[in-house]
Structure 1
Amino acid sequence: MTRWLTDVRQRFAQAAAGQQAPPPDGAPRSLGEAVASAAASEPGPVPPPPSSEPAPRPPETHPVPKVVRDAAEWSWRLILIAAAVAGVGWLAWELRVVIFPLVAGLLLAAGLQPLVRRLRMAGWARGPAAAVVFVGFLLVVVGSLTLVGNAVGGQFQDVVDQAEEGLQEIRNWLSGPPFSIDEAQLDSYIDRAVNVFQDDSSVTEQAATAATVAIEILVGLALALFALIFFLYDGERIWTWVVRLFPARTRARAAAAGDVAWLTLGQYIRGTVLVALFDAVAITVLLFILQVPLALPLGVLVFFGAFVPLIGAFVTGTVAVLVALVTQGLLIAIVVLAGLIVVQQVESNVFQPFILGRMVRVHPLAVAVAVAIGTLAGSIIGAIIAVPIIALVNTVGSYLASTRERPPPVAPG
């Protein structure tokens, strides 16, 4: 454009001077040609650089709907999880002589650890504090069992005599209407039952089974007490060693989750003890008022049975109903049964939700399902440990979900 303006000025200057010079080679011969030439020489718009982002792909077409594919992916993952849980359960059942005593020692340690902590805060060393709590626990258990044994021994013969009278009354009921079973038929039924239990092979098998169970109980009891000592004395260092097995980046969260689980377990044990004590005291007072024999031993039985949630106290309480039926008659047995039902209703609807609901937040439906599964999988022991496991899974899962690592925020550009 500058060159064209220079040429135009030169031509106007030559025209003013009366000279007509030919345009140089390549120069425009007229103003229109100059304008067209200048327009042609101007650079055009610069095209934008090619984008680095890939072009959008057309939507994929798949023969299987996405919902079905998602369901299939979830299905095989759930199958793997169920297989892993089943494998762990099978291994625990095969090693139950070792696993269950360790679990029992862990549960006892969770309930007794606050006492050890208080003694250590008062200036006691770790060893003496653990020893005092352990010995005190043994004295309480052995003393209660001795008290129950003395009570049973003092009233046992009276109960046996009254039981014989009660059985005779039952035979009289069966021989009358509406059953009308004569003495001969009833004696034949009793003889058949006795013959079944007196069979040599049955007696031998039962003796072998009883001996095996007795050995397992003794070994498990010794292992549970041994584990309890070390859990009280060295529990913190044992957990520190376990935490070191985790990857370095997850050790902090694992240690925190373990602390939450231990706190939950201790609260559950203390809450269960309070609930069991409520059931035992209420039933014992009722039996003393009705003058049912063996009231104190039956109350202790209800106390230990209450450690099986929902059904334990009621099942052991039915023994008190049977004793009342045999020793005091049908009317007193009905009163004991009604009192047992009332106590269970108050405990289930008022006391237990107030205690355990504040300590361990587990829904009653989850408790019922856990007890049913635990009973099917591991009998009484499975029913006892099922609810603590559900409580631990609930608490630890909620903690890990609430502290899940989130991606760092993107800085504004």
Structure 2
Amino acid sequence: MALPPPRASGSTRVVWRPVHRDSDVTPALRIASEWSWRFIVVVAGIALLAYGLSKVSEVLIPVLIAALVAALLGPMVTFAHGRGVPRPVAATVVLLGAIAAVAALITLVGQQVADGFAQLSDQAVEGVAEVERWLADGPLELSNQAVSGYVAQAQDALVANRSTIVSGALGFAVTAGHVVAGFFIALFTAFFFLLDGRRIWSWCLHLLPQAAQEPVDAGARASWLTLIHYMRATIVVALVDGIGVAIGAAILQVPLALPLGVVVFLGAFVPIVGALLAGTVAVLVAFVAHGPVTALLMLGVVILVQQIEGHVLQPFLMGHAVAVHPLAVILAVAAGATLVGVVGALFAVPLVAMANTLVSTIASDGDAPEEVREIERSDAPLAPDKPAPTPVSGEDGSGRDGGAQHGSDRGDGAAAEEGKR
């Protein structure tokens, strides 16, 4: 920083003003400072957005679940509508059919659990006695008094924490009420996504500046195709995992084989770690029912199923369209579970896959990745249609909605014709 020379003699006042020289700041420091404040603004915006979303999580989570359901069932609705079935009828039948299938599965599993619970409880008592004998006669060589002391301490701990257990049960009841409310929110949201998904997206797209609509539209449609492909592959992988564990449990005569398969099926929706963690339930049941040898065999079945998933099913079904590096999957699942819990672990990978496709498409001026274009070509009758074109300015609200609806119908017909060709 330099100071200007004083005024000439005879002047009544001398003012000293500092002179800033950009040359005093190195280019590297200037660039770093510019990136730093922009990064701080972006992080602050993301944090503010996350805080706002956390306040409406009871609505946001059902909406996200509805999006997954729409991605899974939407191609079937579009397929039926392209063959002459009215879209409201197609959406209603497909959604009710999915609900009926889930209800039948829950009923079957409930009957299996009710029938096998008495036997499993008796085996659990025998398993606890066997563990006590192993602690006394095994490598630890604990005395009977020590084992009895540990059991007494566990019982005392349960008695001392009765209030905590009761409050936890009450909290579970409140959570169950939220789950029921969230179920109906997700149900109705999924129905309207299936019925008017293109009109909803068209309305959202029109909120953006005209110049941004085309690339964002291309990126969003490519991301939606990625989500559709991801949900299909995940369903197949989860079915194989669940059936494999159920068959292994049945061969080893482990009780509750079908419910254990359903637990693994649900756990497989969290990639890499979900099915493995759910498989530990089967190992524990095998240990309680038949001892450590059967438990080790059950563990081998779970590991074998995981190897088939990781080295055969995932690469073949997922392909490059939703390929996310295993390290990114683990980090995304861990971050989601840490921030939001089980829900975060469930949505982490599909959100990362969609974000990857969205950014890649927008960065390439609206050109979707080649892998996504291959999905769009192969699934032409099932692919989501483009939203209706932007209405001419000056139209009223009814004309805008009507144009969107007619555009949707034309898009369905075009998709059907392309599928026939």
| Shift of residue 214, structure 1, vs aligned partner | 1.3
CA contact (8 A) 2:214 2:366 kept: no
**In terms of Rg, which structure is larger?**
1
For 2:292 and 2:183, how far apart are their aligned partners in 1? Answer: 39
Aligned length, in residue pairs? 346
For 1:160 and 1:203, how far apart are their aligned partners in 2? Answer: 21
CA contact (8 A) 1:115 1:133 kept: yes
For 2:114 and 2:170, how far apart are their aligned partners in 1? Answer: 28
TM-score by length of 2: 0.78
CA contact (8 A) 1:306 1:313 kept: yes
For 1:210 and 1:153, how far apart are their aligned partners in 2? Answer: 22
Q: Does residue 251 in structure 1 map to residue 207 in structure 2?
A: no
1:33-182 paired onto structure 2 within 5 Å: 62-182=23-143
For 1:61 and 1:131, how far apart are their aligned partners in 2? Answer: 66
RMSD: 1.8
**Counterpart in the other structure of 2:319:** 357
For 2:137 and 2:216, how far apart are their aligned partners in 1? Answer: 69
**Counterpart in the other structure of 2:201:** 239
CA contact (8 A) 1:375 1:383 kept: yes
Q: 1:309 aligns with which of 266, 271, 281?
A: 271
Q: 1:95 to 1:192 in 2, by over 3 A?
A: farther
| Shift of residue 275, structure 1, vs aligned partner | 1.2
Deviations 1:9-28 (A, max 9, x none): xxxxxxxxxxxxxxxxxxxx
CA contact (8 A) 2:219 2:366 kept: no
Question: Where does structure 2 lack aligned partners over 5 or more consecutive residues?
Answer: 1-20, 368-421
Deviations 1:344-369 (A, max 9, x none): 12211221122112441322222121
Deviations 1:66-124 (A, max 9, x none): 12222222222222222222222222222211111110011111110001001101101
**Counterpart in the other structure of 1:13:** none
For 1:245 and 1:197, how far apart are their aligned partners in 2? Answer: 57
Q: 1:100 to 1:223 in 2, by over 3 A?
A: same
**Counterpart in the other structure of 1:20:** none
1:244-323 paired onto structure 2 within 5 Å: 244-323=206-285
Determine helix, strand or coil for the equivalent of 2:84. Answer: coil
Q: 1:186 aligns with which of 147, 159, 162?
A: 147
Higher RCO structure, 1 or 2 (CA under 8 Å, sep 6+): 2
**Counterpart in the other structure of 1:19:** none
Q: Does residue 205 in structure 1 map to residue 167 in structure 2?
A: yes
For 1:192 and 1:230, how far apart are their aligned partners in 2? Answer: 55
For 2:188 and 2:152, how far apart are their aligned partners in 1? Answer: 47
Deviations 1:160-203 (A, max 9, x none): 11111111101111122433333444344334333433345324
**Counterpart in the other structure of 2:401:** none
For 2:120 and 2:93, how far apart are their aligned partners in 1? Answer: 39
Q: Which letter maps to 1:284?
A: A
Q: Select between 71-80 and 259-268 the one with higher mean Cα deviation.
A: 71-80
Q: Which letter maps to 2:341?
A: S
CA contact (8 A) 1:93 1:378 kept: no
Q: 1:404 to 1:282 in 2, by over 3 A?
A: closer
Would you identify which runs of 4 or more consecutive aligned residues in structure 1 move more than 4 Å? Answer: none
Determine helix, strand or coil for the equivalent of 1:249. Answer: helix
| Shift of residue 293, structure 1, vs aligned partner | 1.1
Q: 1:89 to 1:190 in 2, by over 3 A?
A: farther
CA contact (8 A) 2:218 2:366 kept: no
Q: Which letter maps to 2:340?
A: G
Q: Select between 178-187 and 105-114 the one with higher mean Cα deviation.
A: 178-187
| Shift of residue 404, structure 1, vs aligned partner | 6.6
1:314-333 paired onto structure 2 within 5 Å: 314-333=276-295
CA contact (8 A) 1:265 1:388 kept: yes
Q: Which letter maps to 1:161?
A: D
TM-score by length of 1: 0.80
CA contact (8 A) 1:196 1:202 kept: no
- Identity rate, percent: 40
Q: 1:302 to 1:85 in 2, by over 3 A?
A: same
Question: Where does structure 1 lack aligned partners over 5 or more consecutive residues?
Answer: 1-59, 406-413
Determine helix, strand or coil for the equivalent of 1:309. Answer: coil
**Counterpart in the other structure of 1:222:** 184
Q: Select between 353-362 and 272-281 the one with higher mean Cα deviation.
A: 353-362
CA contact (8 A) 1:271 1:359 kept: no
Determine helix, strand or coil for the equivalent of 2:253. Answer: coil
| Shift of residue 402, structure 1, vs aligned partner | 0.6
CA contact (8 A) 1:109 1:231 kept: yes
Deviations 1:8-63 (A, max 9, x none): xxxxxxxxxxxxxxxxxxxxxxxxxxxxxxxxxxxxxxxxxxxxxxxxxxxx8622
